[in-house]
């Protein structure tokens, strides 16, 4: 009876030790799985945070470029109002942009698309065409404002990263009855410089108001 009792106790101890090893092994697997999950979540969060910052920066630059285009419209409108008030202008005849390369014409012969038409060009391409030699001044007349800075930096100087460009396009250049009393105002706003430049464009039709 005693031998049996001892043997039975040893068997119980062995079974208990096996169960303990299984529990430790299962616990280790669970810990590894949790660590792997935490690592994967961490990597996703890092990627999401980095992407989120880039998206946020892009949205901010787009907003700044749009604000620049709006500032260009406001400045051009004030200037035009002054020209009419001082009788320097009586209508828009001869004051719209036609060069370079017939930039105001959508087609070259009535059917063939003009690749130099301003709506076929990106904002940066338009700016480069207006200043081909890169001296900071437009090479053609009838440009109201060209890369005009309007925001002060921390030193109190005009910040060249934020500019606007404004010019007029004959909205009947592509056809229709000529009307020198209305035009299309094009305003291009920029935020940043070089390869980091973001742009925004506004096209607004303006007309001379006739007061009877």
Tokens of 111: 């059917």
Contact between 114 and 75 (Cβ < 8 Å):
no
**CA angle 163-135-83, nearest 5°?**
55
pLDDT at res. 32: 61
Query: What is each CA distance from 38 to 24, 109, 204, in whole angstroms?
Result: 21, 65, 53
What are the boundaries of each domain within the chain? 67-207
152 forms beta bridges with: 158
- Cα radius of gyration (the chain): 35
Tokens of 209: 């108001």
Q: Which of residues 54 and 105 earns the better pLDDT score?
A: 105
Percentage of the chain beyond pLDDT 70 is 72
If pLDDT is split at 50, 70 and 90, which confidence band does 113 have?
Answer: very high
Burial class (CB in 10 A: 0-12, 13-18, 19+), 70: middle
Under 8 Å CB-to-CB from 210, ≥6 apart: which residues?
181
| pLDDT, tens digit, 9 for 90 and up, residues 153-199 | 889 999 999 999 999 999 988 777 888 999 999 999 999 988 889 99
Q: Which residue has the tokens 């998206």?
A: 55
pTM: 0.73
Spatial CA neighbour of 94 closest among 127, 141, 129, 138: 141
| pLDDT, tens digit, 9 for 90 and up, residues 17-39 | 445 455 555 556 655 666 665 56
């Amino acid at each position: 009876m005693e031998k049996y009792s001892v043997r039975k106790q040893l068997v119980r101890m062995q079974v208990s030790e096996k169960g303990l090893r299984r529990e430790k092994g299962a616990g280790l697997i669970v810990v590894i799985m949790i660590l792997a999950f935490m690592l994967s979540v961490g990597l996703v969060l890092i990627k999401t945070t980095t992407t989120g910052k880039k998206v946020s920066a892009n949205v901010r630059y787009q907003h700044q470029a749009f604000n620049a285009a709006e500032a260009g419209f406001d400045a051009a409108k004030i200037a035009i109002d002054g020209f009419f008030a001082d009788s320097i202008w009586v209508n828009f005849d001869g004051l719209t942009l036609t060069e370079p390369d017939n930039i105001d014409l959508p087609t070259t012969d009535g059917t063939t698309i003009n690749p130099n038409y301003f709506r076929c060009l990106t904002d940066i391409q338009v700016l480069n065409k207006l200043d081909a030699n890169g001296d900071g001044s437009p090479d053609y007349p009838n440009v109201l404002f060209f890369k005009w800075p309007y925001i002060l930096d921390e030193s109190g100087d005009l910040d060249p990263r934020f500019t606007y460009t404004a010019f007029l396009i004959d909205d009947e250049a592509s056809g229709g009855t000529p009307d020198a009393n209305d035009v299309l105002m094009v305003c291009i706003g920029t935020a940043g410089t070089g390869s980091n430049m973001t742009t925004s464009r506004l096209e607004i039709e303006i007309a001379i108001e006739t007061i009877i």
